[in-house]
Amino acid sequence: MIRYMISDGSASLDEGRWLANIAVWLERGVDPGVDFVQIRERGVSARRLAELTRRVLRLPNPRSAKILVNDRADIALACGADGVHIRDGGVLPDKTLLAISAACHKPTDVGRLRGADYILLGPVFAPLSKTSTQPPLGLRAIREAVRLTPIPILALGGITESNAKLCVEAGAAGVAGISLFSAESETAG
């Protein structure tokens, strides 16, 4: 099962805690470590995002987890990150340069994401890290998306260790989340 960590947006509040949480998940040499870390710090400047990305890239990473930057292919390339994550409705960059993950909120929209390496479909369940205006899609949406595209689907939204298995049984290649990989959950895995 692919495990895809999304940073929680708190780097500007407590960078030390933020970086330490990412380090814990990267340094796990065995399951349940992470295969991807998406740096999703929307409230910071481009310069600050580049600094944070470089700090994450310097962390020990024995599993060779891929480091992706949210919505900024330019910063991902400049810093030597592995790829970029594109929000729902965003334009996919040149696939030859980066690994690409893309968000999708409707299973019927997966077809427009040709060129992505992974699709984060959600919210599958009610999100735990934020309030969402979108109703949960449920496991049926995973099954539908998997039928519509060969691109691996990662379940996003309200994912816990206990429901992650249900997502994989429904056809997801793995799970993505913020709360699943929070400092509070790091001992639960």
Q: What would the CATH number be for the domain defined by 2-181? A: 3.20.20.70
120-175: pLDDT as tens digits: 999 999 998 878 788 999 999 999 999 999 999 999 999 999 999 999 999 999 99
Q: Which residues are CB-contacts of 13 (< 8 A; sequence separation ≥ 6)?
A: none
Alpha-helical regions (H) of the chain: 15-27, 46-57, 73-79, 139-148, 161-169
Q: Is the pTM of this model over 0.85?
A: yes
Q: How many residues does the chain have?
A: 189
pLDDT of residue 91: 86
Mean pLDDT over 110-127 rounds to: 95
**Domain definitions of the chain by residue range:** 2-181
